[in-house]
A and B are shown apart, each in its own frame.
Chain A
């Protein structure tokens, strides 16, 4: 028997750390890492509830989230490298091409 709250609070902490990282970091790669942290928090919740409710759906969706996260990080890093090649920086505060 595991207390459900241990896993849920762990997930909540991971999510909060991810929110802090996304807001406070400048380096685009570190922002992507923080997003991965938030996606993992969601996965912990999905698996914890799947085991709590004895329903496999949560685990299946955790697998889908992992697959989508893999795609997201691939595209994200390709964009980061493209921006670095064009602008010599990956500082998200200095990337303001779409700002007016």
Chain B
């Protein structure tokens, strides 16, 4: 185990525990705060693996914007606290499916990539930008149009209908 290995293991453990607490928490606001921890740990794994631009984008977009949006939605909707109102009756079935997916994936990952290592190298923002604007201009434009459509759609949907 090298230093980066230990760091990755600690980050992954903290993120996994926070993710588990998020889906089992009985309080919606606490669930959102556990989501912050998980997303921050995911960002930390990106930076640890050398993908610094994606890592900081993760911090900006997810931790900065999406969680705030989710907290606002929780504030605007009345969310009763307690297990029976937050979870439905299929908990056991959902647990079986979740554990099944996890076991299957871990089995496949161990079989296919057990022992493989990432040689950590920092990819600088310059390289990401050059690659993005040379080979992926069309997808980039499509995503920008998609974001515009989502913006207008969200405004139209959430606006109060006072014409009727």
Residue in B49, B72, B99, B127 whose Cβ sees the most chain A Cβ within 10 Å: B49
What is the CB-to-nearest-CB distance from B107 to chain A, in angstroms, rounded to a whole number?
Answer: 10
B interface, over-half SS = helix
Contact A37 B35 (CB under 8 A): yes
Residue of B nearest to A53 (CB): B118
Whole-angstrom distance between the alpha carbons of A52 and B123 in the complex?
Answer: 12
* B-chain residues with CB within 8 Å of residue A18 when the two chains form the complex: 19, 23
A interface, over-half SS = helix
Proximity bits, A5-31, B CB within 8 Å = 1, else 0: 111111011111111110111110110
Indicate if A68 sits at the interface (CB-CB under 8 A). yes
* A-chain residues with CB within 8 Å of residue B48 when the two chains form the complex: 2
Whole-angstrom distance between the alpha carbons of A93 and B85 in the complex?
Answer: 11
Proximity bits, A72-91, B CB within 8 Å = 1, else 0: 11110111111010000011
Residue in A2, A4, A77, A82 whose Cβ sees the most chain B Cβ within 10 Å: A2
Contact B15 A10 (CB under 8 A): yes
Contact A14 B86 (CB under 8 A): no
Contact B91 A51 (CB under 8 A): no
Contact B22 A17 (CB under 8 A): yes
Interface size on A, residues (CB 8 A): 68
Contact B132 A6 (CB under 8 A): no
Contact A24 B91 (CB under 8 A): yes
Residue of A nearest to B25 (CB): A30
Contact A60 B131 (CB under 8 A): yes
| Known A1-B119, A30-B28, A67-B143: A37·B106 in contact at CB below 8 Å | no
CB pairs A–B below 8 angstroms (29 shown): A1-B4, A3-B115, A7-B49, A12-B105, A14-B19, A14-B38, A15-B102, A17-B22, A17-B23, A23-B94, A24-B94, A27-B85, A29-B70, A33-B70, A37-B23, A40-B42, A43-B58, A47-B49, A48-B45, A51-B50, A51-B120, A51-B121, A59-B54, A64-B143, A74-B69, A75-B154, A77-B70, A79-B157, A82-B158
- A residues lining the B interface (CB < 8 Å): 1-10, 12-21, 23-27, 29-30, 32-34, 36-37, 40, 43-44, 47-48, 50-52, 54, 56-57, 59-60, 62-64, 66-75, 77-82, 84, 90-91, 93
